[in-house]
């Protein structure tokens, strides 16, 4: 029994242009981004979005290149919906929800070319692999945007190990993970009782008929994912794109503030 | 650790590498109510270990064959995040080490939780190690005990964990990662402070009979500090509001208005 | 003198049979986070789960509609059960209901009676140990709360509260205040001034 509010109540509020926590339809909840929360990882960030809390941890490790890209390093993303985060998350292998989450966050970051993968080449058959793990510590909806914020911040603030005399050196004076200077954020909308709302909490998500995540940088859309059984009209998608480009300015600023650049 | 090299000098001028005395714990801080969705939760920073513990339940035990009609069953998952160590990316999912630690942790709580109050149910304990620097099972149980107490599930005691090690001929309290890697013995323990009974006891390396006995008393001594920190963390939220309103007269419920 | 105790903390050097304690070697220990009055020998649990008593009002969600019974999720270590014959209404899974505890059977299933559907409104989850304080002596706290906010409120002893109409947010705020400050002095006055300000 996770809903603290009935559908009728949410619907009534939305019809008056309001939401449970007093937000308007296109408002994010209060959020905080903190980098470097897990210093053993090369990069890390903790994001609180309302009561949703996630950590992204980046490890940079020795690997071998893909056959079709012999001169580039690799990136990989995975997500854990930890059973400690919600009574609805279960132990066991990653659920389809966790896999979708990791893949959508991965697509945005990959498409925006945030990591300079060719610079991760070390020598023939030796490259750096960048693993980003998304850890959901408390669930109250909108994991997509919280995880994209955490992953982007963790990657942008990651340090780079050194490879010397066939040894990986992870401590001491290290440089930064090679980056292209790009950045990506996302905005996730839901359709609840016929209303389009940004940044749903868990209650609202439980009543959403359709969901759309839009990941973008300053200029272009980088990834999208529609979810759930409902649908969107062309006009609704256009409206959501409009809001996304507007809202993402603030998100990018927050990331920059948190990494201190 | 980085390849085979010879053993580093772990004790220099009577001090350990991080400057601690032999019987000195690393700095520990504990906070309760950190996971909003859980019945009880705690966050512990123990040295540079960072660990979250949460308790859910009691709820109906599922699948049904796991239920015990006489008492609650405890299920426990201890895990290390793949980014928790300074070394390589860890594997995801529980390995044999994590499964063993989950089991011995579960057994600690089977001892102290009043299981017979909730027949047919399960209580879930989750310990997630977000950053590790040695001694995570002891720190994890310490945090989980606080999470359990804060959940309102009745317990006979709030146990603490600590590890005692041997470096050369010296017994030391609370091994960190590098000490753990090169020590001559490691003996993690969980103790119920009320009677001083051992609820978890593991050991590897070499210890004489006398050293085992000394290690237990060292653990109990360190436990006085840890138990106090657990108790303070549990009481803190109530004491704060009590203090704030201590000068007000008791509520006269049911009067005029 | 009132003191806060943790599970396993000694209350008395002698054996004292009161709820929420265990006795070992003739000494009495708390089993819960509690507030203990050494003089009056009163133990008030600060955290704790709900133990159903016949006559308790509960709020729950219909989990399953079986042949002649409804299974009710009570957010508790026990599940609720309503025999269709005890109900004047028909329910479907997901319905929020108010009901009264008839008895707890041997399998720790809570048999419920007089079910009533609650439509709309907001559900608030609180710690069951705080419910007595939220109700107040003779239900006085909750009576004043609803009078001042114009809300309709049903308090489930299992820690679920249903609020509808009137000032829902103000009511929520007041209940949260009671929940967090349940063990302090002067609470009633503070709740009343919160309501005055909000009105």
Segment A211-232 mean pLDDT:
96
Peptide bond into B58 cis (omega under 30): yes
Using pLDDT thresholds of 50, 70 and 90, give the confidence band for residue B243.
Answer: confident
A72 pLDDT above the threshold of 70: yes
Confirm if A79 and A95 have CB atoms less than 8 A apart: no
* Average pLDDT score over residue span A171-188: 96
The residue range of the domain holding C39 is: 2-45
CATH of the domain at C11: 2.40.50
Is residue C113 situated within a structural domain? yes
Rounded to whole angstroms, how far apart are CA atoms B220 and B223? Answer: 5
d(CA A34, CA B148): 28
Q: Is A245 exposed, middle or buried (0-12, 13-18, 19+ CB in 10 A)?
A: middle
Give C2 or B111, the one with higher predicted confidence. B111
Instruction: Name the burial class of residue C159, with classes exposed (0-12), middle (13-18) and buried (19+) by CB atoms within 10 angstroms of its CB.
Output: buried
Query: Taking a C-beta distance cutoff of 8 angstroms, is the pair C128, C92 a contact?
Result: no
ipTM: 0.91
B119, B240, B251: best to mutate for the C interface, most C CBs within 10 A: B251
From chain A, pick out residues whose CB is under 8 angstroms from the CB of C120: 6, 8-9, 12
C-beta of residue A145 within 8 angstroms of C-beta of residue A56: no
Sequence ranges of the domains in chain B: 26-234
Residue C121 — very low, low, confident or very high, per pLDDT cuts 50/70/90? confident
Å between A56 CA and nearest CA of chain B: 9
Structural domain contains residue C76: yes
Give me the pLDDT at residue B89, please. Answer: 86
A47 has a pLDDT exceeding 90: yes
Q: Which residue of C has its CA nearest to B192?
A: C8
The confidence score (pLDDT) of residue B250 equals: 60
Contact C167, C151 (CB under 8 A): yes
Please provide the CATH number assigned to the domain covering B26-234: 3.30.230.70
pLDDT tier at B1, thresholds 50, 70, 90: very low
How many separate domains does chain C show? 3
* Least-confidence region, from B69-78, B248-257, C42-51: B248-257
Q: What is the pLDDT of residue C199?
A: 61
pLDDT at B162: 98
Any residues with CB less than 8 A from the CB of C132 and at least 6 apart, and which?
A: none
Q: How far is C18 from chain B (nearest CA, A)?
A: 14
* pLDDT recorded at residue B3: 42
What pLDDT is stored for residue B94 in this prediction?
A: 81
Query: What confidence category does residue A237 fall into, taking pLDDT thresholds of 50, 70 and 90?
Result: very high
- Backbone φ and ψ for B5, nearest 5 degrees, come out as -5, 165
Give the residue carrying structure tokens 């998952």.
B77
pLDDT tens-place string over residues B182-209: 999 999 999 999 999 999 999 999 999 9
**Rounded CA gap, B85 and B177, in Å?**
10
pLDDT digits (tens, 9 = 90+) for A51-60: 999 999 999 9
CATH number, domain A13-259, options 3.50.30.50, 3.30.230.70, 2.60.40.1840, 3.40.30.10: 3.30.230.70
Q: For a pLDDT cut of 90, what percent of chain B falls above it?
A: 80
* CATH classification of the domain holding C108: 2.40.50.140
Q: For residue A4, what pLDDT is reported?
A: 64
Q: What is the mean pLDDT of chain B?
A: 92
Question: Quick one: C165 and C137 in the same domain?
Answer: yes
Average pLDDT in the A159-184 region?
A: 95
At A101-151, the pLDDT tens digits run 999 999 999 999 999 999 999 999 999 999 999 999 999 999 999 999 999
State whether A87 and B37 contact (CB < 8 Å).
Answer: yes
User: Residue A247 pLDDT > 70, yes or no?
Assistant: yes
Mean pLDDT for chain C overall? 91
Give per-residue pLDDT as tens, B50-68: 999 999 999 989 888 999 9
**For residues B184 and B206, what is the distance between their CA atoms, to the nearest angstrom?**
6
How much of chain B exceeds pLDDT 70, in percent?
94
In the three-class reduction of DSSP (H, G, I as helix; E, B as strand; rest coil), residue A59 is classed as strand
Specify if C51 maps to a domain: no
Does the CB of B37 have a partner CB in chain C at under 8 Å?
Answer: no
The pLDDT of residue B4 is 44
Question: In this predicted structure, what is the pLDDT of residue C69?
Answer: 94
Evaluate whether residue C21 is within a structural domain: yes
Residue B121 at interface with chain C, using a CB cutoff of 8 Å: yes
The confidence score (pLDDT) of residue B244 equals: 80
Is the pLDDT reported for residue B69 higher than 80?
Answer: yes
Nearest Cβ partner of B77 from A58, A87, A91?
A: A91
Q: C190 and C130 in one domain?
A: yes
The CA-atom distances, in angstroms, between B161 and each of A67, B140, C179 are 49, 8, 32
Return the bridge partners of C196, or none: none
Residue A1, pLDDT above cutoff 50:
no
Q: What are the pLDDT digits (tens) for C125-172? A: 898 989 999 999 899 999 999 999 999 999 999 999 999 988 888 999
């Amino acid at each position: 029994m996770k809903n603290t509010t009935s559908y009728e109540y949410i619907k009534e509020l939305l019809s008056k242009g309001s939401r449970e926590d007093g937000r308007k339809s296109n408002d994010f909840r209060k959020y905080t981004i903190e980098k470097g929360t897990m210093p053993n990882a090369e990069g890390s960030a903790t994001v609180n979005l309302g009561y949703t809390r996630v950590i992204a941890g980046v490890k940079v490790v020795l690997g071998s290149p893909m056959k079709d890209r012999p001169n580039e390093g690799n990136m990989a993303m995975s997500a854990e919906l930890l059973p400690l985060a919600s009574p609805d998350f279960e132990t066991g292998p990653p659920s389809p929800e966790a896999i979708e989450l990791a893949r959508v966050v991965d697509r945005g970051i990959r498409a925006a070319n945030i990591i300079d993968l060719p610079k991760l080449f070390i020598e023939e058959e030796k490259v750096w692999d960048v693993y980003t793990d998304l850890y959901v510590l408390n669930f109250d909806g909108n994991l997509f945007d919280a995880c994209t914020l955490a992953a982007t911040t963790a990657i942008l603030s990651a340090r780079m190990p050194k490879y010397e005399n066939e040894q990986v050196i992870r401590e001491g004076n290290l440089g930064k993970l090679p980056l292209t200077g790009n950045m990506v954020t996302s905005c996730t909308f839901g359709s609840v009782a016929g209303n389009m709302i940004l940044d749903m909490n868990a209650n609202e998500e439980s009543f959403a008929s359709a969901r759309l995540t839009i990941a973008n940088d300053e200029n272009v859309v980088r990834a999208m994912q529609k979810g759930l059984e409902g649908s969107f009209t062309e006009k609704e998608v256009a409206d959501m794109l409009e809001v996304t480009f507007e809202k993402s300015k603030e998100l990018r600023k927050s990331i920059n503030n948190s990494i201190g650049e | 650790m980085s390849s085979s090299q010879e053993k580093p000098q772990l004790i220099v001028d009577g001090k350990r590498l991080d400057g601690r005395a032999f019987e000195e714990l690393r700095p520990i801080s504990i906070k309760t109510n950190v996971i909003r969705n859980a019945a009880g939760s705690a966050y512990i920073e123990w040295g540079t270990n960072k660990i979250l513990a949460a308790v859910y339940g009691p709820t109906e035990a599922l699948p049904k064959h796991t239920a015990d009609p006489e008492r609650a069953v405890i299920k426990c998952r201890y895990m290390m995040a793949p980014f928790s160590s300074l070394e390589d990316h860890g594997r995801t999912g529980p390995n044999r080490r994590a499964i063993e630690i989950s089991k011995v942790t579960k057994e600690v709580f089977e001892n102290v939780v009043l299981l017979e109050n909730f027949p047919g149910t399960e209580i879930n304990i989750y310990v997630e190690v977000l950053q590790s620097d040695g001694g995570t099972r002891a720190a994890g149980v310490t945090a989980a005990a606080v999470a359990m107490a804060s959940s309102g599930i009745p317990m006979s005691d709030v146990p603490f964990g600590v590890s005692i090690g041997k470096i050369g001929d010296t017994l030391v309290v609370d091994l960190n990662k590098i000490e753990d890697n090169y020590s001559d013995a490691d003996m993690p323990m969980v103790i119920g402070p009320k009677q001083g009974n051992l609820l978890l006891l593991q050991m590897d390396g070499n210890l004489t009979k006398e050293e085992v006995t000394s290690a237990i008393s060292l653990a109990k001594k360190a436990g006085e500090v840890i138990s106090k920190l657990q108790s303070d963390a549990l009481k803190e939220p109530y004491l704060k509001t009590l203090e704030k309103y201590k000068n007000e007269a008791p509520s006269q419920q049911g009067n005029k208005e | 003198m009132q003191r806060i105790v943790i599970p396993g903390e000694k209350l008395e050097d002698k054996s004292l049979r009161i709820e929420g304690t265990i006795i070992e070697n003739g000494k009495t220990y708390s089993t819960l986070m509690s507030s203990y009055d050494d003089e009056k020998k009163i133990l008030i649990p600060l955290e704790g789960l709900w133990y159903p008593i016949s006559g308790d009002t509960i709020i729950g969600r219909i989990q399953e509609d079986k042949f002649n019974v409804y299974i009710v999720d009570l957010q508790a270590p026990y599940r609720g059960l309503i025999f269709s014959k005890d109900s004047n209404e028909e329910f479907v899974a997901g319905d929020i209901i108010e009901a009264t505890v008839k008895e707890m059977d041997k399998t720790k299933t809570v048999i419920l009676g007089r079910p009533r559907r609650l439509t709309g409104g907001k559900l608030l989850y609180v710690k069951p140990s705080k419910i007595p304080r939220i109700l107040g002596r003779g239900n006085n706290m909750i009576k004043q709360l609803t009078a001042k906010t114009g809300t309709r409120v049903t308090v489930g002893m299992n820690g679920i509260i249903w609020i509808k109409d009137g000032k829902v947010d103000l009511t929520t705020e007041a209940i949260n205040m009671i929940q967090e400050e349940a063990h302090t002095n002067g609470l009633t006055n503070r709740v009343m001034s919160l309501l005055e300000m909000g009105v």
